Amino acid sequence: MYKAIFKITVLSTLFLATACSSNLDSNSTAGSADLAVSQPAGETMMDSKQFVSDRSIIKNSSLTIRVKNIEKSVNQAQDLVAQFEGRIDDLSQYKNPGSDEALSANLTIRVPSTSLDNALSAFKELGDVESSSISATDVTMQKVDLDARIAALNTSIERFKELISTSTNTTDLIAAETALAERQAELDSLIAQQKYLLDQIDMSVIYISLLPNDSFNAIKPIGFISGIEKGFVALLNAAANLTSIFGYFIPWIVTILVIYLIIKSISRLRKR
């Protein structure tokens, strides 16, 4: 009887040990499966982050600044452009009539996109900022599309070059050369577009408008005597213009008068 109980106990222990072992194996397998499933998700997240970091952005900004001295501020702006390794695409100044004093100035500046924030902060130190704005345009897909089209055209051009080098038929050779020329022209156009787009991405634009602190002081009085002189000059200019107009109409008046006299003479002859 004791032997039978002992055998049952041993069998029960073995059964429980086997069951526990199976559960452990299944749990470890499930954990491995979960790890295997989670790993691609991690890689996807990394790819997504990389895509976000590779975005191509065009940034434009504008500043309107009130300054004490326009010309001095223009010189300071030029120094800042050189400091940030940028360039000036356009510079225009408006001066007071009758003097060399600048009333306002407009600058179109390009600075590296990575230095845009620092450059804006530096330009704002030129005077009192009246207004400022910044805009960003995502051109990632446009850049990707250009890169893909350029790569495809390069591949096509290489194939046509190989075809031309091995062609023995004159008709096929001419057709291949024509197709090659078309693709080369298209490639050159796309490369020019790519270069322009990359310049827009790498170099941000800053439009700066420099104005005097007091707009009412922009146009200064010229004085009583100078006013009289300018009045006489204006009167003489008006007289000269009237003389020019009269001289313009003299040939017409003479022609009309001659025609009138001819018609009148013919009428008198008929009456006789």
pLDDT tens string 116-155: 999 999 999 999 999 999 999 999 999 999 999 999 999 9
Question: Among candidates 204, 200, 201, which has minimal Cα distance to 62?
Answer: 204
Question: Among candidates 83, 106, 103, which has minimal Cα distance to 94?
Answer: 103
Average pLDDT over residues 194-206: 93
Model confidence at 21, in pLDDT bands (50, 70, 90)?
A: very low
Residue 239 pLDDT exceeds 80: no
**Which segment, 18-22, 215-219, 245-249, is predicted with the most confidence on average?**
245-249
Q: How far apart are CA 186 and CA 83, in angstroms?
A: 38
Please tell me the predicted confidence (pLDDT) of residue 42: 40
Query: Per the confidence metrics, is the pTM higher than 0.85?
Result: no
Half-sphere exposure of 12 (CA within 13 A, CB side): 6
Residue-wise pLDDT tens digits, 24-73: 344 444 444 333 333 444 443 334 444 445 789 999 999 999 998 898 99
Model confidence at 222, in pLDDT bands (50, 70, 90)?
A: low
CB 61 within 8 Å of CB 207? yes
Return phi, psi of residue 222, to 5°: -100, -5
Average pLDDT over residues 213-221: 57
Collapse the DSSP code of 1 into the 3-class scheme (helix H, G, I; strand E, B; otherwise coil) and give the result.
Answer: coil
CB 90 within 8 Å of CB 108? yes
199 bridge partner residues: none
Name every residue whose Cβ is closer than 8 Å to that of residue 198 and which is 6 or more positions away in sequence.
Answer: 143
Q: How far apart are CA 218 and CA 214, in angstroms?
A: 7
